[in-house]
Amino acid sequence: MLEDAEFWELVGRLGGRPELQDDRPYEELTAELAQGPVERILEFAETLAYKLYQLDRRSLAETLIPGEDESGERLSDDGFLYARCAVIVAGPAAFSAVLRDGSVFRHYVTVEAAHAESILDIPSNAYEVLTGNKWDYVEEYDYETASNAEWW
């Protein structure tokens, strides 16, 4: 895994605004990682997976999608993953705030933040550019919904 400071510095290049629908920062970070070495790409992937895993909590998954009324609706598994990606893209302060106070997570449960899921493609795209090979790497931490048994 990358040191936290390096990981968050790389993520910071995405602009800290998960609601933006701009692919350029994701493409630029992909291009930077594609310069190598492969180990750095794998470490980025591992760190990203671990951060997403840490956010994989039933209490957060039960956050309702903001709607016109108070009832709202539940997040899909994909919606929950995308909202966790939005927290990561927002940066280390957002990540810490959500872990400290789950009610903060509601801010990242928006349709606009779904674009943040583009962060998931950065390691595989960088790897494929650098090596010319298909990405078949499996991270140690599974970030799919309900994978973090401690919090489910």
Residues 6+ apart with CB under 8 A from 102: 57, 59, 60, 63
Domain residue ranges in the chain: 4-131
Tell me, what amino acid is at 22? D
Q: List, for residues 29-45, the tens digit of each pLDDT value.
A: 999 999 999 999 999 99
**Which DSSP string do the residues of the chain spell out, in sequence order?**
---HHHHHHHHHTT-S-TT----HHHHHHHHHHTTS-HHHHHHHHHHHHHHHHHT--HHHHTPEEP-SSS--EEPPHHHHHHHHHHHHHH-HHHHHHHHH-GGGGGGG-SSGGGGGGGGGHHHHHHHHHHHSS------SS--STT--GGG-
pLDDT in tens, 56-96: 999 999 998 877 556 678 889 999 999 999 999 999 999 99
pLDDT tens per residue across span 97-148: 999 999 999 999 986 788 899 999 999 999 999 999 999 999 999 999 999 9
Average per-residue pLDDT for the chain? 94
